[in-house]
Chains A and B, each alone.
Chain A
Amino acid sequence: MESSDEKTVEKCRVHLRPGTLHDAALATLHLLPCEVLVSGPAPVERFFTPAMRQGPDGLEVSFRGRGLRGEEVVVPPGLVGYVMAMEEKGEMLVGKDFSEDSWNDEREEQELAEPPEALERDFDQFIGATASFSRFTLWGLETIPGPDAKVRGALTWPSLAAAIHAQVPED
């Protein structure tokens, strides 16, 4: 059915720089109830933050003329929030050919034998934490997202995952 020459090999590794995890400065995050169709710099501090108000039942602000209601969400205990970004370095190697079988075999054997440094190959990519967070502001369109917000449900995943993936007792 699928011949191997029609599929692509997923050999890339993206190395997370460990040092960035404890250097990362705290960031302010807002999760908005709309899709902004662009990513990049935005003067949040000049336009958004000063318009925030503490209303009788939660935070209030407006964005693009629409009213938002918000609340603080604390990252569940045992977890840390990070903002990560890819490093540009690996870019240069796009298109480099690694097709010789012998090279692959040799390399894989080396990896098995060597310390973690060998985990990095020259075609790998790097990602690093640029900021950390322990809370964020969750905004709803005109209503407070509340306990039924999907993202709040998602935040309960790590505790269930721990149970699913815990080792089972031996017989």
Chain B
Amino acid sequence: MDCGDRARARQHVFLLPEYLKDASKKMKSGLLFVKLVNPCSGEGTIYLFNMCLQQLFEIKVFKEKHHSWFINQSVQSGGLLHFATPMDPLFLLLHYLRKADKEGTFQPLDQVVVDDMFPNCILLLKLPDLEKLLRHVTEEKEIDKKKYYKYSKEKTIKWLEKKVRQTVSALKTNNINVSARVQAATFFFGDPVSSDKEEDYIRYAHGLISDYIPKELSDDLSKYLKLPEPSASLPNPPSKKVKLSDEPVEAKEDYTKFNRKDLKTEKKNSKMTAAQKALAKVDKSGMKSIDSFFGTKNKKVGKI
């Protein structure tokens, strides 16, 4: 498997922050795409580093069935549109801090941020003001002018709550519709639909933030925010299962890409509608040759 002719001919359509263009004038290099572990799903996900601006970017891709691009005098199948947006590196660092916390000791950051699978995680250590950032989620000690860190769940939850708050206000200024979906509303039979609008915003913001943290932390945050258990208020509608099996057509995604642990532990039945919707959306049947460039140089790893 490598990036063969088809892959090379592929054109990627991106939207980048304009300031990257300005910053690039002074750069000869230092803009790099790498694969790092996604702190929510655990799967390899692409991020962009700007080593000159010392900034991390997340890459989201718009992917809807039945699209293609005409780009000048060419056609590009798939119709993908990539977005690079600045990302808080703390979400990625948290993954390693929590992992290291299993040892229960204070450790220097360069011993925490290590990854056999995603060695490029060391680039995170080059980002600026890490000490300041880490204060939000760790206890720290200084010995011989070297800093040692230990994950603090309490601090992390407080930090995440602030994230939720600032997301809530952005949701409001951006006029995002956060109310329970029409489809979902029918399942609130007895319950009055969202008596508290503010709660809808918080739940929505919590959901967004949850896409950047592991499930366990998301559940803890939910409790801290006193969000009602969604599974309690949303009985699982059996009709949906029927609908799903009516539509084998849509089920073409390769689910091996999802973290298998999630398969076993996930239990928020309130999300079934979303699950089915997404199933329909992530069909990649038309995308002929999406072999990752990031897969091309991979090798089987022996013991490291």
A contacts B directly (C-beta below 8 A) = yes
Task: Give me the interface of A with B, judged by CB distance under 8 Å.
Answer: 4-19, 21-22, 27-45, 48, 75-76, 78-86, 88, 90-91, 93-94, 97-99, 101, 104, 108, 111-112, 116-117, 119-120, 123-125, 127, 130-131, 150-151, 154-170
Name the residue in B7, B23, B24, B295 with the highest tally of chain A Cβ atoms < 10 Å from its Cβ.
Answer: B24
A30-B74 in contact given A21-B20, A167-B88 (Cβ < 8 Å): no
Q: Which residues from A are CB-within-8-Å of B60?
A: 154, 157, 161
Residue of B nearest to A23 (CB): B24
Q: Which residues from B are CB-within-8-Å of A99?
A: 299, 301-302
What does DSSP make chain B's interface, helix, strand, loop or mixed? mixed
Does B255 reach chain A (CB closer than 8 Å)? no
**What are 10 A-B contacts with C-beta separation under 8 Å?**
A9-B118, A16-B31, A28-B71, A28-B72, A32-B68, A84-B14, A85-B10, A91-B3, A94-B297, A161-B58
Q: Which residues from B are CB-within-8-Å of A120?
A: 29
Q: Which residues from A are CB-within-8-Å of B209?
A: 164
Residue of A nearest to B83 (CB): A157
> Across the interface, do B85 and A158 meet the contact criterion of CB distance under 8 Å?
yes
Name the residue in B7, B76, B126, B171 with the highest tally of chain A Cβ atoms < 10 Å from its Cβ.
Answer: B76
Does B6 reach chain A (CB closer than 8 Å)? yes
Does B136 reach chain A (CB closer than 8 Å)? yes
> Interface size on B (CB < 8 Å)?
99
Q: Which residues from A are CB-within-8-Å of B9?
A: 39-40, 85
8 Å CB contacts to A: which residues of B16-36? 16-18, 20-21, 23-25, 27-36
A8's partner among B8, B76, B295, B303 (CB-CB below 8 A) is B295
Task: Give me the interface of B with A, judged by CB distance under 8 Å.
Answer: 2-3, 6-18, 20-21, 23-25, 27-36, 44, 48, 51-52, 58, 60, 62, 64-79, 81, 83, 85-88, 110, 116-120, 122-123, 125-126, 133, 135-136, 159, 162-163, 166-167, 169-171, 174, 176, 208-209, 212, 286, 288, 293-304
A97 to B162, CA, bound (A): 46
Q: Which residues from A are CB-within-8-Å of B118?
A: 9-10
A11 to B120, CA, bound (A): 6
> Across the interface, do B120 and A10 meet the contact criterion of CB distance under 8 Å?
yes
> Across the interface, do B170 and A160 meet the contact criterion of CB distance under 8 Å?
yes
Q: Which residues from B are CB-within-8-Å of A32?
A: 67-70, 79
> Across the interface, do B8 and A88 meet the contact criterion of CB distance under 8 Å?
yes
Residue of B nearest to A137 (CB): B70
Residue of B nearest to A118 (CB): B29
A29-B18 in contact given A22-B24, A119-B30 (Cβ < 8 Å): no
> Across the interface, do A36 and B77 meet the contact criterion of CB distance under 8 Å?
yes
CB distance from B245 to the nearest CB of A (A): 25
> Across the interface, do A151 and B51 meet the contact criterion of CB distance under 8 Å?
no
> Across the interface, do A163 and B166 meet the contact criterion of CB distance under 8 Å?
yes
A79 to B83, CA, bound (A): 9
A160-B16 in contact given A9-B119, A14-B293, A168-B162 (Cβ < 8 Å): no
A158 to B194, CA, bound (A): 28
Residue of A nearest to B86 (CB): A165
B67's partner among A33, A86, A164 (CB-CB below 8 A) is A33
A143 to B209, CA, bound (A): 35
A29-B119 in contact given A10-B35, A158-B83 (Cβ < 8 Å): no
Residue of A nearest to B24 (CB): A18
CB distance from B79 to the nearest CB of A (A): 6
A119's partner among B16, B35, B51 (CB-CB below 8 A) is B51
A160 to B13, CA, bound (A): 21
> Across the interface, do A86 and B3 meet the contact criterion of CB distance under 8 Å?
yes
Q: Which residues from B are CB-within-8-Å of A27?
A: 71-72
A39 to B44, CA, bound (A): 26
CB distance from B174 to the nearest CB of A (A): 6
Residue of B nearest to A107 (CB): B119
Q: Which residues from A are CB-within-8-Å of B30?
A: 18, 116, 119
Residue of B nearest to A32 (CB): B68
